[in-house]
Every structure is written in structure tokens, then in C-alpha cells.
């Protein structure tokens, strides 16, 4: 009874004990296929997460991560008590909600309209043109937005004056009351085509026999849109809506930084992300900026989980 067992272990033990690195080396070709990529992502997407811990330190570049003193939640308290807190949170939520309410349904509407166009060449032209701005850098978009809105000879001021709507040119980009409108409009202009393409693809996947059956039953075009097209693409719409709600605190970055450069606009233009950027990289208060970033990340994860919970009750889910 005992002999076969020992023999068995004697055979299997040396094979199992072949060291891990040896087995690893024997497969070097296969490992080479994935390891460089994993290392890249680990270093540049995950290691930055250690930045989270800086929020609990008085981080100093000279002492480094391990030499800096731990200070607990001091930076969080500073942020919550700072006069910037309310302003930054309000701007983040307002800008984000405005983008959600206006820029989220717009591409769905455009996709529904484009779907009714029977002339393929015309459809293609409109689609191509509306998608084009997505490929321009915010640097360019903000550049000509600033020029179009400028006081001296800005095209918008010239046309408003020609129409008799205003007497004197308005300095749109230094007056806080116009800023949110400008941000929403430029974002709508830049991104409407991108989302439209996604919705059009979803609409193209709707079973055509549904429309045939509906038209035999006498449903009008509008009825078909509301009773067939929209319900069919609801899962896609919900997924995008969840992603939008989950990123409610991502009010934008490049656009706000480039268009809201004027100090007069800081009261309406500064959101959590741009605030952390200014404090951290321009003022070198690393720990404070990390605390602001971490505060935002925690709330974002909460929002995403909540949105997904709601979506699951509605029948579609991200995970």
C-alpha cells in the first residue's frame, strides 16, 4: 500500500518543484507577447494610483514618497473648509448637468432624423460634416471660439450688431454669465457627430420586419420612431446614460482650461479637475491636489455604482 504512494510522490515532486522562473523562461516567447503591454499599463495607468496616498501626507519632492510625513486627513479638512470648495463643486455639477441635459439627447435626435433620410449620398454628406469637428484639437476649437467671440471684430458681435440685437459689442469670454452657454455650445458642436454614429449603428441593427409589420398595421412614421426605433435602441441609450451619470463629476478638462483661462472666469469655470491641476502642477501643492482628486474619485465610483444599480433594475447593466 505504501510503496506506490511514495513512488508517486517521488515522481511528481521534482516536476512540481521545477522553479517558476524556469518555467517562465521556457515560455519566453509567449511571455514577451503580453508582458511589455502589461508593464506599460501598470506603470502609467495603475502606479499613478499611489498618488492617492499622497493625499494623506505632506508630500515633498525632495523627501519622496517614503520620506514624507503622514498627516491623516488634514488636506481633506482644508479642502472642505476652503472657500473654493462650494464654488468648485457647484461649477462641476452645473456644467456637467448642462452637458448631460443638452448634449446627451442631441445626437439621438440627429441620428433619428438622419435615419429618415432616404438619399444615401445626402445622408453621407451630413454625417461626414457633423462628425468632422470631433477630430479637431481643443486647442484649435478654443482658438477660433475666442476669435469668433472677441470684442473687436468678432464675427458674433458683428452679426448681432448687424441684426440690431445689441448696441455695443459684448466681451463674451470675460463675462461669467455667458461662460456656461459657451462651454455647452462648443461641446455640442464638437461632439454631436461622434455619438450620432454610434446611435445610427444601433438603429441599423433594428430588425426591418418590425417596420414592415408596423406600416402594414398603419403606423405613421412618427409612431414607428416612438414605438420601434426608440425602444430598440434603448439599451444603447441607457449604457451611454449610465456612463454619463457615472462621470457626472467629469465636467470637462481641456475645454474648461483653454476657454476659461481668464481670471475673471474662475468663479464659473473652475471645476474639481482643473482646480486640482492648478493647485497641484502649477502651485506645486501636491498633497492638497491629491486629496481633491481622491475626494472626486470616491464620489465618482459611488455615482457609477448607483447608476448601474438603477440600470439593472431597468433591465440593462454595465457589469
The residues in 26-85 that bind another protein, with binding defined as CB under 8 A, are 29-30, 32-34, 36-38, 40-51, 54, 61, 64
Measured from the CB of residue 184, what is the shortest distance to another protein in angstroms?
A: 14
Site residues (CB under 8 A) for another protein, limited to 144-183: 144-145, 147-148, 153, 155, 158-159, 162
Whether the CB-CB separation of 54 and 287 falls below 8 Å is answered with yes
CA 106/CA 108 separation, integer angstroms: 5
Q: Which of residues 268-287 bind another protein (CB under 8 A)?
A: 273, 276-277, 280-281, 286
* Interface residue with another protein, options 21, 66, 70, 135 (CB under 8 A): 135
Residue 155 vs residues 17, 176, 259: alpha-carbon distances, Å: 77, 20, 17
Of the residues 24, 80, 122, 226, which one makes contact with another protein according to CB under 8 A: 122
Rounded Cα gap, residues 304 and 239, in angstroms: 11
Q: How many amino acids of this chain bind another protein (CB under 8 A)?
A: 85
Do 308 and 77 touch, CB atoms closer than 8 A?
no
Binding another protein (rule: CB under 8 A), the pick from 71, 97, 101, 140 is 140
Long-range contacts: 256-260, Cβ < 8 Å, 24+?
A: 256/95, 256/183, 258/138, 258/139, 258/142, 259/142, 259/145, 259/146, 259/173, 259/179, 259/182, 259/183, 259/186, 260/179, 260/183
∠ CA 55-56-62, rounded to 5°: 80
Q: Which range touches another protein (CB under 8 A), out of 67-75, 85-93, 142-150, 173-181?
A: 142-150
Our finding on whether 136 is near another protein (CB under 8 A) is yes
Work out which of 4, 83, 208, 218 binds another protein, going by CB under 8 A: 218
| Nearest residue (CB) to another protein, 7 versus 26 | 26
Residue 315: which region, alpha, beta or left (left: phi > 0; alpha: psi -120 to 50)? left
Judged by beta carbon, residue 190 or residue 266, the one nearer another protein is 190
Task: Point out which span in 6-14, 72-80, 176-184, 218-226 binds another protein (CB under 8 A).
Answer: 218-226
Which of 95, 184, 248, 257 is close enough to bind another protein by CB under 8 A? 257
Q: How far, in whole angstroms, is CA 38 from its chain's centroid? A: 23
Residue number with CB closer to another protein (6 or 152): 152
181-210 residues near another protein, rule: CB under 8 A: 189, 192-194, 197-198, 201-202, 205
C-alpha cell recorded at residue 225 = 420612431
The residue among 1 and 305 lying less far from another protein, judged by its C-beta, is 305
Q: Which stretch binds another protein (CB under 8 A): 13-21, 71-79, 83-91, 132-140?
A: 132-140
User: What grid cell was written down for 235?
Assistant: 439599451
The full DSSP string for 213-277 is HHHHTT--HHHHIIIIIHHHHHHHHHHHHHHHHHTTT---SHHHHHHT-SGGGHHHH--HHHHHH
Nearest Cα residue to 285 out of 82, 42, 91, 93: 82
Residue 38 or 101 having the CB closest to another protein: 38
Distance of closest approach, residue 297 Cβ to another protein, in angstroms: 7
Amino acid at each position: 500500500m505504501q510503496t506506490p504512494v511514495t513512488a508517486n510522490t517521488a515522481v511528481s515532486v521534482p516536476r512540481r518543484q521545477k522553479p517558476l522562473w524556469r518555467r517562465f523562461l521556457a515560455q519566453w516567447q509567449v511571455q514577451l507577447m503580453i508582458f511589455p503591454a502589461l508593464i506599460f499599463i501598470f506603470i502609467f495607468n495603475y502606479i499613478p494610483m499611489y498618488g492617492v496616498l499622497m493625499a494623506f501626507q505632506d508630500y515633498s519632492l525632495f523627501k519622496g514618497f517614503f520620506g514624507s510625513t503622514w498627516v491623516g486627513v488634514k488636506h481633506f479638512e482644508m479642502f472642505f473648509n476652503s472657500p473654493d470648495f462650494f464654488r468648485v463643486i457647484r461649477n462641476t455639477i452645473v456644467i456637467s448637468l448642462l452637458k448631460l441635459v443638452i448634449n446627451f439627447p442631441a445626437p439621438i435626435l440627429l441620428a433619428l432624423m438622419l435615419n429618415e433620410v432616404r438619399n444615401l449620398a445626402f445622408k453621407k454628406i451630413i454625417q461626414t460634416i457633423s462628425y468632422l469637428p470631433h477630430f479637431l484639437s481643443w486647442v484649435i476649437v478654443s482658438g477660433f471660439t475666442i476669435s469668433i467671440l472677441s470684442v473687436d471684430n468678432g464675427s458674433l458681435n458683428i452679426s448681432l450688431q448687424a441684426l440690431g440685437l445689441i448696441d455695443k459689442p459684448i466681451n463674451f469670454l470675460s463675462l461669467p454669465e455667458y461662460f456656461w452657454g459657451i462651454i455647452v455650445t462648443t461641446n455640442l458642436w464638437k461632439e454631436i457627430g461622434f455619438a450620432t454614429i454610434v446611435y445610427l449603428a444601433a438603429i441599423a441593427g433594428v430588425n426591418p420586419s418590425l417596420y414592415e409589420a408596423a406600416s402594414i398595421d398603419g403606423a405613421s412614421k412618427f409612431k414607428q420612431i416612438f414605438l420601434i426605433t426608440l425602444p430598440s435602441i434603448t439599451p444603447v441609450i441607457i449604457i451611454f446614460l449610465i456612463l454619463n451619470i457615472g462621470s457626472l463629476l467629469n465636467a470637462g478638462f481641456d475645454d474648461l482650461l483653454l476657454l476659461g483661462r481668464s481670471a475673471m472666469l474662475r468663479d464659473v469655470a473652475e471645476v474639481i479637475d482643473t482646480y486640482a491641476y492648478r493647485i497641484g502642477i502649477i502651485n506645486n501643492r501636491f498633497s492638497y491636489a491629491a486629496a481633491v482628486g481622491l475626494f472626486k474619485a470616491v464620489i465618482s465610483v459611488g455615482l457609477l455604482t448607483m447608476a448601474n444599480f438603477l440600470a439593472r433594475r431597468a433591465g440593462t447593466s454595465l457589469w
